[in-house]
Every structure is written in structure tokens, then in C-alpha cells.
Structure 1
Amino acid sequence: MDASNPFDLRCLLDNVQGMVDALTCLRWKKQQDSIVELSDHGLVITVEERGCLQARVYFRKELFREYAYQAEVRPKFGISLGLLIDSLNTFTSSTRAAALELSYPGPDMQMIFKLVDANDSCIYAEMRTRIPDQIPHDYVIEDDGGTPISFAVKSAALKEALDDLEWPGSSIEITVSPVPPRVTFRGDGHGDLQIEFPYDRQRDLFIAFNCQREISYRYKYKFLKATTSQIPVSILKDNRGSKLTFGTNGLLKVQHLISVKPSPTPHQHYYDPSQAQARVSYIEFYVLPDVDSDDP
């Protein structure tokens, strides 16, 4: 191990607010534990409601100004999601020229945050970590050997549709049809509400649509809504899109693309478009179907 860097991971992050926004998407209830996994490729943070819902956010190493990783085995540790977001939030108001330093592990296996701004003032924080009680389930979208049925729409449109379908304690049926090509969301509770997204190449609602046969699955509303309920306004304004993919067993993957743009340094007053691809990350949710779901 490099004596000058005794940590498994030491990295510098330009845009703390971007990380806060991404982590906020995972927060569907007040008390949530998360699992952090470190690797040479970046950070993965996962939260899970066992057997119902899982969410994870990927921070690739390209999103960081510096990323020094030297662990022999991928470290995994538990940490409170709410405390992690609150801790990072304390660094968002500092001068833009400063980068947040994240290090792990400290002497007592803690996660360390340090920021020195342009005025040489230092903000320092430590978060205790724990040994995970359970390893997150490795969900996989299975298909019949072909391309899974999927569609991608503007994130704001998806969130608005799910917000409008609210029936406490109910389920939402999602139907994807190839002829005519459309996606239908139907909720029932004290009444019946249906929202239809017709696919039209001339409209900008859909980014992609792939369906060879009709499918229909039901999902608990509270878990489906969790996939969009906490998306910050900054991500909705960017509106890169959300992709929904269905496995043959009804497992639903909802993926949101997000931008984590670096703040300009004192010597750089513009954002280089060539870095755009490297500064895109994504959030994934896996939602299990309601037990009464049927695939016609």
C-alpha cells in the first residue's frame, strides 16, 4: 500500500450537489440503511426493501477529479443513507472552486469527508460505518433469448403519470402493446384511472420503444412511486430520460440517466462538451411484480 495514501479509496469530487441529488432519488422513507461498494471502476450505493424493491446509484470514477483506489478486495460497508445525504449537504454551500475529498477507511473504519475552500477554511466530517447484515440481491432482467421489452420516456412525464395514479394501498397495472404501439398505466382504488402514452415517432415523449408482444404486470403503487417520487428538480429539468425494462418474470427495472457536471475551476469558465459522456451516471430501481400479476 502506498504509504502516502493509507486509504483503500481517496477521491476528489467537484460537484457535491450532483451526488446529493442522485442519492436523494434513493430515499423513499425516513430511515434507510445503504450498502456502499468500492471498486477500481467507482462507487455503487444500494438500498433495498427485501423482496420488494431495490435501488442503486453508480458513481463512475470518471465523475471524480481524482480517484485513487488500491484495495485488494472490494470493500463493502453499511452506512445510513439519510446521514450520508445530510453530511454531504453540509459541503454544498462552499466555494465552487473547492473539491470535496472522500476517504475510506479511517482508523475506526469510518468514512471521512474533508473540504478546504479558497479561503483556506476547512470543513471535516466523519461517518461511522458498519458490517452489512445482508448482501444486496443481484437482480437480473431475464428474457426468452431476445431483446427484453422496454421503453424510454422523458423523466418528468413518467413522474407526473405516477403521481396522478395515486390510490393508497392499490396496485398499478402497466401494459405495453405493439399494435398500436402504446404504454398504459391503470390504477384502481376508490375508482379507476388510466393514463396512456401512445408511441409516435413525431413526438418527443418517447426516447425509445421496443415491444414485440403485449405484456401486462401489476406492481404495488408505493414501490412503483418510489422510483420517481424523490427525483430532484435539477434532474427533472435536465430530463435526460427514464427507461423501463421488463423481464419475463415481471421484474421491472427503472433506470434514470443523470448529469453530474463539474463546477468550473478558477481557470476554466466553461464546460467542455467533450466531457459530457464521462459525466453521465445512472440510477437503477428494481421493482418486483405484485403476486397476482399475470402475463397474457
Structure 2
Amino acid sequence: MNTADDSKNYIFYASTDNVKYISNILKAVQFKESANFHATDQGIKITVEDSHCLQANSYLQKEIFNDYSYKEDIKFKINLNIFIDCLQIFSNNVTYSPTALNQSFSNKVHLKVYYKEHGHPLILLLEENGVTTDCSIKTQEYEDVMEYDFLNIDIVNKIIFKSEALKEIFNEIDNSCDVLEILISPTIPNFRIATYGDLGSIYIDFPKDSSCIEYFSCKERQNSRFKHSLLKPALKAINYSSKISLRMDKKGCLSWQYMIKHDENIISFIEFYCLPLDEYDELI
């Protein structure tokens, strides 16, 4: 393949030096083998879904890239594990902390991404210190996923947390539990996380004026229960974030939105949606 500036022959082309940042953003949603890849004029959206009950979206804004050329709406499915492995080809010997997305590295990897047209593979060219490698990843048909419409009129409750506080909460809960319950109320306890399992029940309460809560809006008392095994990928992603927005709609569906800052003041978002147990049971 010609490595010169031949992006004009492709419907999508992007280049960046933020390879480690991107690979770790994608690791935060790496709980299934495959993912939907959707490129727009605003950036790239990667969607992973489990049994139509848990959905994760990683948003890679075009500002992350040095060059971003987009000619039409692009949608396909891709093997996420292979995609991440390719991005990490030059980082096998690097010790990287999941809590340090803004960590600096002396040797930067440069990435170019090409996509020619429907049915063609996604081409990655990676270069570090003059050493170049290319990867060709097979693309598949885009897979339909659940549509979660969290419109403002449907949002019953919303809380914005400092991530460090939620990390501490979930370090204390029973990881072997079957069910995790979230309670949000205008009266005390304003926010409660409870777990239920073979070891019994455990709950942790936070008042709305807690130092770890930056914003609290509660229209009505609401509590929803979730299958803990489904929520685990969303809880793991807390380690990558600086702030977390938790929202619940009228049906008790849960939305976690994670804000992730880059060292150059670029902000990315990861979003998880999870159905409550009653709706989950209807699907299985």
C-alpha cells in the first residue's frame, strides 16, 4: 500500500499520535468480541452490546486526530479484540496503568486509519521510531442494537459524581453479589447503593450535599435493581474517568456517562446503558 497522502482514494481516513489513549478508551468497553464502528463528521462511535441488556459506547471525537477525512456515513462491525491488539503492537513492553489515561510517553506511536468502501477491510498503519507495520482487519455487516433515548423529558433523576468517590464505593461492595440496587430520593438517604447475594445485603448511603457529589437532581424517589454481572463492565470503566454522570429514566433504565480527559485538554466520553431486572427478565 502506498503510504503517501492517498487519503483521497478512501471514504474515511484519520491519523493521530494518541494511539495509547485511544486503545485504552476502547479497552474500557472491551467486554464482548465484536463492536459496531460508526464514523461521522463529528468522530467515531464504537458500540458494544450484551444480550440487548447492556450497551457501551465509546466516543472518539475528531479533535483526537491530527487529520480526519470523512466523505459519507460509515457503519460496519469489527472484531474489537483484534482492533485493540493492532493498536498495541508497539506497546507490548510498556507498563500502562488504567487509571492514567493522560500518562505521557517518550516514544509516540503514529497511526493512520484507512477505509476504502463497503465490504473492504479497515487498514491500520502504525509507525514508531521509523519502524512501520500495517494491519488489515476484516469488516462485517453493521449489527442493529438497542436504541436508548435519554431525552431530558424522560430523565427522572441525575447525579454527577467525582469518580474517585465511586471507586471507593465499589471497592467496598460484595463483588460476589447477584443483584445491585440503586436508590435515588429527594429525602435521606438521597443516594444508596445496595447489594444482595448469598452473604446477605450491604448498603452504602450518600447525602446530596456530600463532597463527592457535584450535582444532584431528583424529581421523585426511584429505586431499580440490576443484574450485577451485567453491570461489571460499567463499574470497571470508572477507573478511566474523572467525573461520572448517573441518570435514570422513567422505566428505571440506568445510564452511566464517564468523562475522560486527555493530557492536551481533549475530552472523550464513554457511556453505558443497562436495563433494570424487570425488563431484563422480559427479554430472556
Residues 237-256 of structure 1 aligned to structure 2 (within 5 Å): 239-256=241-258
Task: Using structure 2 for the length normalisation, give the TM-score.
Answer: 0.83
Q: Distance in 2 between matches of 1:189 and 1:3?
A: 57
Q: Distance in 1 between matches of 2:243 and 2:256?
A: 11
Which residue of structure 2 lines up, in the alignment, with residue 287 of structure 1? 274
Q: SS of the residue aligned with 1:156?
A: helix
Q: Distance in 1 between matches of 2:35 and 2:119?
A: 19
Q: SS of the residue aligned with 2:277?
A: coil
Count of aligned pairs between the two proteins: 263
Which residue of structure 2 lines up, in the alignment, with residue 11 of structure 1? 14
Is 1:55 aligned with 2:56?
yes
Which residue of structure 2 lines up, in the alignment, with residue 135 of structure 1? 144
Which residue of structure 1 lines up, in the alignment, with residue 102 of structure 2? none
Q: SS of the residue aligned with 1:12?
A: strand
- Compute the displacement of 1:23 (Å): 0.7
Identity level (%): 28
- Compute the displacement of 1:212 (Å): 2.6
- Compute the displacement of 1:110 (Å): 0.9
- Compute the displacement of 1:229 (Å): 1.7
1:214-241 CA-partner distances (Å, limit 9, x unpaired) = 1111111112222022555xx3xxx521
Which residue of structure 2 lines up, in the alignment, with residue 197 of structure 1? 206
Q: Distance in 2 between matches of 1:125 and 1:245?
A: 39
- Compute the displacement of 1:13 (Å): 1.4
Q: SS of the residue aligned with 1:178?
A: coil
Kindly report the root-mean-square deviation, in angstroms, between the aligned alpha carbons of the 2 structures.
2.6
Which residue of structure 1 lines up, in the alignment, with residue 124 of structure 2? 113
Structure 1's 18 and 3: CA in aligned 2 closer, same or farther, altered over 3 A?
A: closer
Q: SS of the residue aligned with 2:23?
A: helix
Q: Distance in 2 between matches of 1:216 and 1:78?
A: 35
Q: Distance in 2 between matches of 1:139 and 1:107?
A: 27
- Compute the displacement of 1:166 (Å): 3.0
Q: Distance in 2 between matches of 1:95 and 1:122?
A: 18
Structure 1's 107 and 172: CA in aligned 2 closer, same or farther, altered over 3 A?
A: closer
Is 1:217 aligned with 2:227?
no
- Compute the displacement of 1:96 (Å): 3.7
Q: Which has the higher helix share?
A: 2
1:118-175 CA-partner distances (Å, limit 9, x unpaired) = x43212211111113x3122111256x3753110112233233234323536111110
Q: SS of the residue aligned with 1:83?
A: helix
- Residue identity opposite 2:190 in structure 1: R
Task: Using structure 1 for the length normalisation, give the TM-score.
Answer: 0.80
Instruction: List alignment gaps of at least 5 residues for structure 2.
Output: 95-104
Q: SS of the residue aligned with 1:135?
A: coil
Q: Distance in 2 between matches of 1:155 and 1:215?
A: 22
Which residue of structure 2 lines up, in the alignment, with residue 259 of structure 1? 261
User: Aligned to 2:162, which of 133, 150, 154?
Assistant: 154
Q: Distance in 2 between matches of 1:96 and 1:104?
A: 27
Q: Are 1:255 and 1:284, in contact at CA under 8 Å, matched by a contact in 2? A: yes
1:173-219 CA-partner distances (Å, limit 9, x unpaired) = 11011123621011111211111122226x2x112111132111111
User: Which segment drifts farther, 215-224 or 88-97?
Assistant: 88-97
Q: SS of the residue aligned with 1:85?
A: helix
- Residue identity opposite 1:5 in structure 2: K
Structure 1's 129 and 4: CA in aligned 2 closer, same or farther, altered over 3 A?
A: closer
Instruction: List alignment gaps of at least 5 residues for structure 1.
Output: 262-270
- Compute the displacement of 1:95 (Å): 6.2
Q: Distance in 2 between matches of 1:106 and 1:282?
A: 27
Q: SS of the residue aligned with 1:227?
A: helix
Structure 1's 59 and 136: CA in aligned 2 closer, same or farther, altered over 3 A?
A: same
Q: Are 1:55 and 1:283, in contact at CA under 8 Å, matched by a contact in 2? A: yes
